[in-house]
Amino acid sequence: MYPAPFRYHRAATLDDAIGRLVGIGEGARALAGGQTLLVWLKMRFDEPTDLVDIGRIPGLDAIEHDTKGVRIGALATHARIARSPLAKQIPIVGDCANGIADNQVRSRGTIGGSLAAGDPSCDWPVLLTTLDATVHCRGPAGARTLPADGFVQDLYATRLEAGELITGVSFALPGKGSAGAYVGFKRCAPAFPTSSVGVQLTLNGDDCTQARIALGSAALTTIRAQAAEAELSGRTLNAQVIARAAEAAAAAADPVPDQRGSPAFKRSLIDALVKRGVEVARRRARGETVEVSHEYY
């Protein structure tokens, strides 16, 4: 199906984009990589009057890191992040970026668009919740920061205000003994994951001092599995402890039945993915190189 007619605007700067979004009002949408928005338009799921293309605003696609932390611009594409040195230095970032869709989608889709879409199947909100990241925004009232955890509030609804744009995300570099893994399960590359899990652990030998676990495609928003984290934090990791955490994560999920599977199937996937994510994070924390990403069935 073709989208309903709309006016196209190309923003030259961030202020220009915000000014246009505010000036046009309710019918305006920001256009970044178009990998979600254009699908919505073609499905007539959304019928904006005006698209404000932010894709060529200079300086919004930088990927930077120093000793203090990491900053990724909203327009950084999944493919650029996957190819960046960051993906090697912090493997959980590479797991996520490489697992998103296929080459075409990864080449156009952006991290900012993935967050702003508010889609519970998108991978970046899950990864950024796992890493306790901060979302940087700018709108008519100026700049502000919000935690990635809870940024997506409901199905396709975020904490962004009218005319507000995501400018980037930031997170701290994992400290000593801290490592993570992002694992997902999907039918094929161009499909969204049926379930996905992010795990970040801080370990002293096999003793877990801190754990963060987030679940994707597990409810109407990203879920932070705090009961599962509590099963790991302060404990020595062994098969029973990990099994209890996986069970708690599956219990925290509230998946909807769809063509990808029943709630029971998705819960069993989450159980398995948490076990796998914890095992990979644990091996990485010991210094092993372990390649993981989404798996297909």
Residues that bind ligand FAD (CB under 6 A): 29-37, 39, 74, 100-101, 105, 108-110, 112-114, 116-117, 122-123, 160, 165-166, 190, 192-193
Q: In what order do the strands lie in the sheet with 50-53?
A: 7-10, 50-53, 28-31
The candidate with the shortest Cα–Cα distance to 215, out of 188, 246, 239, is 246
Which of 122/199 has CB closer to ligand FAD? 122
Which of 39/155 has CB closer to ligand FAD? 39
Which of 164/279 has CB closer to ligand FAD? 164
Q: State the nearest-atom distance from the C-beta of 130 to ligand FAD, in Å.
A: 14
Q: State the nearest-atom distance from the C-beta of 119 to ligand FAD, in Å.
A: 6
**Cβ neighbours of residue 61 under 8 Å, at least 6 residues apart?**
73, 74, 75, 76, 77, 80, 110
DSSP-derived secondary structure for 160-207: PPTT-EEEEEEEEPP-TTEEEEEEEEESSTTSPPSEEEEEEEEEETTE
Q: State the nearest-atom distance from the C-beta of 104 to ligand FAD, in Å.
A: 8
Q: State the nearest-atom distance from the C-beta of 223 to ligand FAD, in Å.
A: 16
Which of 109/174 has CB closer to ligand FAD? 109
Which of 202/221 has CB closer to ligand FAD? 221
Asked if 3 and 44 touch (Cβ cutoff 8 Å), the reply is yes
For ligand FAD, which residue has the nearest CB?
109
Q: State the nearest-atom distance from the C-beta of 206 to ligand FAD, in Å.
A: 32
HSE value, Cβ hemisphere, 13 Å, CA-based, for 140:
9
